[in-house]
Structure 1
């Protein structure tokens, strides 16, 4: 179990070198001296090749603070550095965190945001400072952010309408099925390709569909076919 958790942590690239070393040491601290030695040997190559994110920053303290706010139903006043074009400085936000999770290199916090008038995903590493904690609301279960829905329908971006898509896939089918939970094969072809159906938040799904190049062809809806064609054409024009 320690070996599995350690390798997952190393693959995440989320922590600074200092926080990584401390966390790995903590994970193995309950093992016998002999097992600790064996664990150190087994992780030598992985630890030596660890590459943190390009702008990694200490996260464990703010991770604890945000988790505490969720448990105690508190709102936060904090400064946040957005990735939106044109926003070059951190801005003050007012929001109540309700769900904390990790996904593709980053920790995210789903918050009920005053600035966005509803739920919004914030990246934990973009929170510059928590300025104040205030009493929040105890939300009913049906009003809380659905992390299950996010896991099932969102890929990279939790935005865009929930859409049923179909595409013909020419690469290894399990790759597509793993990226879109709940997707299914609805038709197989003699050449090994298949038609896959999935329900997705469309903006994030487009990023993955484009990443497959000629390995897939979108079949429906027509609006997505047109969107893919326009984006691919614009990409091609950059090389002319």
Structure 2
């Protein structure tokens, strides 16, 4: 999981009132405890008092447990951070975004509200929501209880490029966000696989299945672990390749921010770094291709050949 996304995920957990430990999070995100400790140092800076004014959020660390306490008012910096992230995602309709801004700024001072509105005015002017035009609130609402109860459901889904809807039956496991879209992880009864589906492509009507569906616990994979091993919403299968190596002629910082579990080495005579990561290789293909001549995949050979084949087909487009 990319560092900034992990920090945001931890921050949202704290804001929701969760009590967190470094050990727990290290297992969830598949990263070292030192990495999490650095994350909490950055988060602590967000809530440090400034100009002798007590911050409205206080991050407490007691007996290895981190938790957040907040007053009735939100700090303008915290609101601005959240709004900047939401605006850049383009995931909300205009009316939802305006409503969120109004709700958050109501918890701060009139002066802070004006400063926040001024800071995002230009971005709101040019804001373009996603084309599906559906309400995120209404999309998520029907699934919350079903996920909490692990309740079997039946729903219709229209995949990209398809004209007909397909009926799905299974157990919804989690709602996740990636890029600009919300996704539903669902265990499908008939294929006995866990797959990710864009939430906006479901029909709004979901029904309880007319029979019980049993979810095998040996297929369970926590959402945090999925993020820790995948660069997008790739759905790993039992035979998915986990782990690959590459040489990189770019920034080491960029690699560490992209792959939280990267192992990096450099020979004295080389002008590149050698990288090993424990990510699902298939999920990293778009990123690899985006790096152009900065990258050379080296292992395993099956994955090297796959990248070569994609590059060859791309070159043929320009012949």
TM-score by length of 2: 0.68
Question: Which residue of structure 1 lines up, in the alignment, with residue 229 of structure 2?
Answer: 153
After superposition, the CA RMSD in angstroms is: 2.3
1:33 matches 2:110: yes
d(CA) in 2 for partners of 1:136, 1:9: 38
Three-state SS of the structure 2 residue aligned to 1:112 is strand
Give the drift of 1:30: 1.2
Relative to its length, the structure with more strand (as a share) is 1
Q: Deviation per CA, 1:59-110: give whole Å up to 9, x if none.
A: 2112122122212332222111113x6x321111112211112111111111
- The alpha-carbon distance between structure 1 residues 74 and 36, as it changes in their structure 2 partners (threshold 3 A), is same
Query: Contact 2:186/2:195 (CA < 8 Å) preserved in 1?
Result: yes
d(CA) in 1 for partners of 2:96, 2:222: 30
- The alpha-carbon distance between structure 1 residues 189 and 91, as it changes in their structure 2 partners (threshold 3 A), is farther
d(CA) in 1 for partners of 2:212, 2:111: 48
d(CA) in 2 for partners of 1:142, 1:28: 45
Question: Which residue of structure 2 lines up, in the alignment, with residue 113 of structure 1?
Answer: 188
Query: Contact 1:16/1:57 (CA < 8 Å) preserved in 2?
Result: yes
1:168 matches 2:247: yes
Give the drift of 1:191: 6.1
Question: Which residue of structure 1 lines up, in the alignment, with residue 311 of structure 2?
Answer: 232
- The alpha-carbon distance between structure 1 residues 195 and 22, as it changes in their structure 2 partners (threshold 3 A), is same
d(CA) in 2 for partners of 1:221, 1:49: 45
Give the drift of 1:124: 0.9
Three-state SS of the structure 1 residue aligned to 2:186 is strand
Query: Contact 1:186/1:196 (CA < 8 Å) preserved in 2?
Result: yes
Query: Contact 2:175/2:184 (CA < 8 Å) preserved in 1?
Result: yes
1:144 matches 2:223: no
Three-state SS of the structure 1 residue aligned to 2:266 is strand
1:125 matches 2:200: yes
Q: 1:11 aligns with which of 88, 96, 104?
A: 88
Query: Contact 2:187/2:215 (CA < 8 Å) preserved in 1?
Result: no
Question: Which residue of structure 2 lines up, in the alignment, with residue 44 of structure 1?
Answer: 121
Query: Contact 1:81/1:90 (CA < 8 Å) preserved in 2?
Result: yes
Between 125-134 and 215-224, the greater mean CA deviation after superposition:
125-134
Three-state SS of the structure 2 residue aligned to 1:74 is coil
1:215 matches 2:291: no
Question: Which residue of structure 2 lines up, in the alignment, with residue 97 of structure 1?
Answer: 172
Paired residues, what number? 238
1:67 matches 2:135: no
Give the drift of 1:154: 1.1
- The alpha-carbon distance between structure 1 residues 23 and 225, as it changes in their structure 2 partners (threshold 3 A), is same
